[in-house]
Amino acid sequence: MKVVLFGATRGMGRATARLLAERGDALFLLGRDAASLEHSARDLEARGAPAPVGTAECDLMAPETFDAILEVADRALGGFDTAILSAGLFATQEALEADAALTRDVLHANFTASIAWCEAVRRRLLVRGGGTLCVFSSVAGDRGRKPVALYGATKAGLSHYLESRDHGDHASGLRVVTVKPGFVHTDMTAGLDAPPFAGQPEAVARRVVRAIDRGTPVVYAPGIWQAVMLAIRWLPRAVMRKLSF
C-alpha cells in the first residue's frame, strides 16, 4: 500500500505505522512537530519501509492547509491509496467544563477539522477510483455517558459521518474503516484509572491493519469493547442516569 498517516508519531498511530513499515508499505507522515516526524520517519525506514519515508508538517486545527499538504504527500508516494487519521485531542470532562477555550479546540479538532481532512482525502481517492480511509474514532461515541459528554459527542459525530460516507461511497470504491478504541495505555490516557481490560497500542495496531486489509467497516480495539458497548447501548436511560461509567 501507499499510505498517508496523520498522527503516526505517538501511541496507536505509531504502532500502526510500524506494522505497515515492517511489511514494506510505502509511508508518508503528517504531524505538527517536525523533529518527531523526522525521528519517526527514520525509525520506520529502519523497520522496512521503503526510503525515504516522507514527512510534512500539518496542523489538524488548520483545515485550510489540508489540500496543499495532501498534494505533497500524493506526489511523494506517486498517488496514495490509503489514508489513516489517528490525530485528535482529548481532555477529561472536568477539564473541558473548566476551560471554554479547550472545549472549543477539542470540538473543532475531533469533529469539524477531522471531517474536513477526511473530505479532502475522500475527494482525491474517489477521483482515482477509490481506496481506503481509516479513521480513529472512539467507543466514547457509542452512547451518551456522563464522564465523556463533550469528548464523546465529537466521536459520535465523527462515527456518524464515517458510517454515512461508507454507505454512500462504497459502490464507488472507497472503503471506510472506523476504528473504535476503548481504553488503551498511551500518553493520552496517562494518569487515568484503567479498567481491567485496558489495551496496548501494539495489539490495537494489529487489529487496525487487519481491518484495513479486509475492508472491515468498524473495528473495536481491544475487541472486548464491542461486547461492552453493546451492553451499554441496551441499558435503559434510567439506569444510565445512575451510572458513573
In a domain, 245, yes or no: no
Residues 149-197 have pLDDT tens digits of 999 999 999 999 999 999 999 999 999 999 999 867 666 665 566 666 7
Number of structural domains (the chain) is 1
Which residue range(s) make up the domain with 131? 2-240
Name the 3-class secondary structure at 11.
helix
pLDDT at 59 over 90: yes
What is the CATH number for 142?
Answer: 3.40.50.720
Write down the pTM of the prediction: 0.93
List residues bridging with 199 in a β-sheet: 184
pLDDT at 109 over 80: yes
Give the contacts of 1 (CB within 8 A, at least 6 positions apart). 20, 25, 26, 81, 82, 132, 212
